[in-house]
Amino acid sequence: MALRLSVLDQSPIPEGLGGAGALRGSVDLARLADELGYHRYWVAEHHGTPGLASASPEALIGPIAAATETIRVGSGGVMLPHYSPLKVAETFSALSGLFPGRIDLGFGRAPGTDPMTTFALQRDRRTASPDDFPQQMAELLGYLNGDLPADHPFVRLATTLPGLPERPEPWLLGSSPQSGIWAAEVGLPYAFADFINADGASIAAQYRAAAARPELAVAVWAICAETEEEAQRLASSSKMMMRMLEQGRLIAVPPVEKALRFLASAGASPGGSRERRRRAIAGDPGQVRAALESVVEEYGADELMVVSIMYDHEARRRSYELIAEAFGLSPRRSSERAAAVGAIR
């Protein structure tokens, strides 16, 4: 099977622009990804940060799916501990009904934020929410698959999902061994966040060995430009954000020149501390393709999801264009996209 190439978008907020502009940028980038021939477009979930506007993937998926034609659209992912499994099932069922055959429900256990914001997201704040992710996952999948046990108190609700008979495609997300174990046990495709944990090859291998029908995507941080020097310059904005995060300071995505001055004053190379702890790929098209292919081979992945944070939206668009060209993606003409949509419907 040919490698699938996809996008994971965290909706980065450039300094001085604001979240609204970042969200519109996500819709614009998704439209471009559809035209370029990317397989799927996932939006992340992060809370309480001035640098990322991706607080509500379920609210962004609909506008993105409406603005595109054939690309799969989904969450990368819904942080399930914050939510009722029934509400998540209903929301993604509705999206699937509106956009048949195109909606993915990627979900995970991580909070996507700090402990205080996690507590603020709770409806009942008398005590901390229980750590019952396996039970939440089983209930969610029971709704989606229509196979809750006959004696389950909520079994009737599986028949009332608003988008039936359409259903989303569920994926489990993770960056730790436990998530891979769960994905294999329940028979789900697994998306591993290499941009969080670059030591995931052994976790991926364990998942593939244990799963009856393994399907593995790996999400990798990468920036591509015409030259390596320009790619490293563009990457400096993200590097400054990471440096500030390590100091407990959350910021919007800084302009390149500001980031370069910060890194220089901190005594850091443009690579900064990110390379010491997390994989960071930045280079020209040939360099980026070679590095990404190496990661795919390391993981034995079926799909590559590219995630990037840059200050300039046009530069981010161009990065995904260059990566698509480097991997030889076939751009979709409007007529082809329309025909594919008609076939789905």
Domains of the chain by start residue, with CATH: 4-121+130-344 (3.20.20.30)
Stated as kind and residue range, the H or E segment containing 274 is helix 274-277
Dihedral sign, Cα of residue 217, residue 218, residue 219, residue 222: negative
Band of the pLDDT at 328, cuts 50, 70, 90? very high
Band of the pLDDT at 122, cuts 50, 70, 90? confident
Average pLDDT, integer, range 45-51:
93
Output the pLDDT for position 119.
80
pLDDT in tens, 146-184: 999 999 999 999 999 999 999 999 999 999 999 999 999
Q: With CA atoms as reference, report the closest residue to 270 among 246, 234, 245, 306.
A: 234
Inform me whether the pLDDT recorded for 6 exceeds 90.
yes
Inform me whether the pLDDT recorded for 338 exceeds 70.
no
The amino acid occupying position 16 is G
Interhelix angle for 177-186 vs 201-210, to 10°?
20
Q: What is the pTM of this model?
A: 0.91
Inform me whether the pLDDT recorded for 230 exceeds 50.
yes
